[in-house]
Amino acid sequence: MMAFNTNYKDTGLFGVYTVAKLKSCLMLHIDGTGPVAEDIEHQLLTYDRRIPVTELFARIDAVDASTIKRVANIFILDQDVAISTVLW
């Protein structure tokens, strides 16, 4: 995940972009009994059940550009933004 800020004479551009290898990160995260127990805990608290890996990967594969646009419109577009700057 990385944020960027570009300044122009009369305006500016701020954004955030992410790149993820979601499936490999998920599989590497649950390597060992402790991480597996933590994964089960999070899934039970979030979904009230443990989601099988095949279902989880199907959910990831279902994400497309229209899904990202829809979520961005809900959580980013027309939302109040708070920015803080420290000058040295």
* Domain boundaries along the sequence of the chain: 21-64
Residues of the chain with pLDDT under 70: 1, 20, 81-88
pLDDT at 28: 83
| Percent of the chain surpassing pLDDT 70 | 86
pLDDT at 16: 78
pLDDT at 62: 93
Q: Is the pTM of this model over 0.75?
A: no
Dihedral class, residue 48 (left if φ above 0, else alpha if ψ from -120 to 50, else beta): left
CB 2 within 8 A of CB 16: yes
